[in-house]
C-alpha cells in the first residue's frame, strides 16, 4: 500500500541510481500493467538519459533528455529491485524472497531497465495495479492521470484555509474528503486514519461541518499539522529502513510499528484505552477510536 511516504522513499532510493544515467535497454515481459504500455514504449526509452526524478502525489516521474516524462505508479504491490554489480538490492516497502532462479526472471517481474553502466532495475508487481506511461513534458498538465490532482500536503500552499475552501458545502465524511486526490495529493487509507486519530476528529464527521461563519473550526489547523507530521515521520522511518536495506528483510517498514489505529481493531486506543473500532466507508476499512475522535 504505497502512499505518499512510501512512494517518496522509493523515489529517493532510485534517484542516485537513475539520475544522470542513460537507459541502454528495456525489456517488457508483458503488454502492460493496469493499462497497456504506451506505443513503442521500450524503443522510445532506449538511449534516453534520465535527468531528474521527482514525485507528484503517488506518482514517480522521470524527466528524460528527450523532453519526455516517464510516469510510474506502484499501484498496490509495485516495487523496484536494483542490481548493481550483480548484487540485488530491494527498494520499496515490501520485500519477499523470490524463488526465481534469477532476479528479473520471476513470474511478476514485468519490466527491466538496463543502464549504460550495467545496472539493472527490475519492476515487480504481482497485482499489476501499477502504471507506466511516457509522454511529452508539454502534456504533463493535461495528462489524464495528473490533471486535477490537489495540493501536495507537504507543500507550503497546503493549509487550513485551503481545506476549508475545498470542504465548503461537502456532505461527504472527512475520511472520504481526505482520501480524495483532487483535494490532497498522496494520502491513502493508512495515513488518513492516522491523521484523523491524531487530530481527534471522527472519520464520519461531514467535511462541511469544519467551516465556521467566518473562517473555520480551529481543529482544521490541527488536522493540517497532523497530516504533515504523520507524513514527515513516515518518510523519515522509510528512509532509515532504506539505508540498511542490505541488512534487513525489509518486511516491516519502520513506521508500521507506530500505527495508533490502522489495522488495530479491538486493540486498546493508545490515548484512552478503549477498543479501536473498524467501519467501512466507501468500501474501505476505517479504523478509529469512538471516544477520542469526535
Partner DNA sequence: AGAAGGCCCTGACCGC
Partner DNA sequence: TGCGGTCAGGGCCTTC
State yes or no: is 219 an active-site residue: no
Sheet holding 68-73, edge to edge: 50-56, 59-64, 68-73, 131-136
- Given the residues 2, 5, 173, 203, the one annotated as active site: 2
In the complex with DNA, the residue whose CB is nearer, 240 or 282, is 282
Tell me the closest approach of the beta carbon of residue 178 to DNA, in angstroms: 11
Q: Which residues of 208-235 are buried (b: 16+ CB within 10 A; e: fewer)?
A: eebbeeeebbebbbbbbebbbebbeebb
- Given the residues 3, 8, 93, 194, the one annotated as active site: 3
Q: 28 has which bridge partners?
A: 111
In the complex with DNA, the residue whose CB is nearer, 58 or 197, is 58
- Given the residues 6, 48, 55, 58, the one annotated as active site: 58
In the complex with DNA, the residue whose CB is nearer, 128 or 228, is 128
Which stretches of the chain bind DNA, using CB under 7 A? 1, 3, 34, 57-59, 73, 75-76, 96, 107-108, 126-129, 144-145, 170-172, 176, 179, 181, 188-190, 280, 282-285
Measured CA to CA, the distance from residue 200 to residue 196 in angstroms comes to 6
In the complex with DNA, the residue whose CB is nearer, 254 or 279, is 279
- Given the residues 29, 56, 128, 284, the one annotated as active site: 284
State yes or no: is 58 an active-site residue: yes
In the complex with DNA, the residue whose CB is nearer, 168 or 294, is 168
Tell me the closest approach of the beta carbon of residue 85 to DNA, in angstroms: 29
Tell me the closest approach of the beta carbon of residue 47 to DNA, in angstroms: 29
Tell me the closest approach of the beta carbon of residue 171 to DNA, in angstroms: 5
State yes or no: is 89 an active-site residue: no
Tell me the closest approach of the beta carbon of residue 115 to DNA, in angstroms: 27
State yes or no: is 2 an active-site residue: yes
List residues with catalytic annotation: 2-3, 58, 284
Amino acid at each position: 500500500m504505497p502512499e505518499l511516504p512510501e512512494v517518496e522513499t522509493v523515489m529517493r532510493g532510485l534517484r542516485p541510481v537513475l539520475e544522470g544515467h542513460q537507459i541502454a535497454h528495456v525489456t517488457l515481459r508483458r503488454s502492460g500493467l493496469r493499462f497497456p504500455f504506451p506505443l513503442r514504449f521500450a524503443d522510445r526509452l532506449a538511449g534516453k538519459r534520465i535527468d531528474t526524478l521527482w514525485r507528484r502525489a503517488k506518482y514517480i516521474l522521470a524527466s528524460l533528455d528527450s523532453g519526455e516524462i516517464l510516469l510510474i505508479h506502484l499501484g498496490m504491490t509495485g516495487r523496484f529491485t536494483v542490481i548493481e554489480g550483480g548484487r540485488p538490492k530491494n527498494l520499496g516497502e515490501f520485500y519477499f524472497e523470490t524463488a526465481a532462479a534469477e532476479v528479473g526472471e520471476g513470474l511478476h517481474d514485468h519490466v527491466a531497465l538496463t543502464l549504460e553502466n550495467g545496472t539493472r532495475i527490475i519492476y515487480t508487481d504481482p497485482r499489476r495495479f501499477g502504471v507506466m506511461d511516457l509522454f511529452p513534458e508539454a502534456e504533463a498538465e493535461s495528462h489524464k492521470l495528473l490533471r486535477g490532482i490537489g495540493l501536495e500536503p507537504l507543500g507550503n500552499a497546503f493549509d487550513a484555509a485551503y481545506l476549508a475552501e475545498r470542504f465548503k458545502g461537502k456532505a461527504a465524511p472527512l475520511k472520504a474528503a481526505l482520501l480524495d486526490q483532487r483535494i490532497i495529493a498522496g494520502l491513502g487509507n493508512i495515513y488518513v486514519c492516522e491523521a484523523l486519530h491524531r487530530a481527534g476528529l471522527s472519520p464520519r464527521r461531514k467535511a462541511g461541518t469544519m467551516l465556521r461563519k467566518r473562517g473555520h473550526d480551529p481543529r482544521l489547523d490541527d488536522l493540517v499539522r497532523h497530516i504533515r507530521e504523520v507524513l514527515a515521520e513516515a518518510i523519515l522511518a522509510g528512509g532509515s529502513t532504506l539505508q540498511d536495506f542490505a541488512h534487513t528483510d525489509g518486511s516491516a517498514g519502520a513506521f508500521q510499528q507506530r500505527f495508533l489505529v490502522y489495522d488495530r481493531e479491538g486493540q486498546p486506543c493508545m490515548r484512552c484505552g478503549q477498543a479501536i473500532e473498524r467501519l467501512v466507508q466507501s468500501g474501505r476499512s476505517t479504523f478509529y477510536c469512538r471516544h477520542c475522535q469526535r
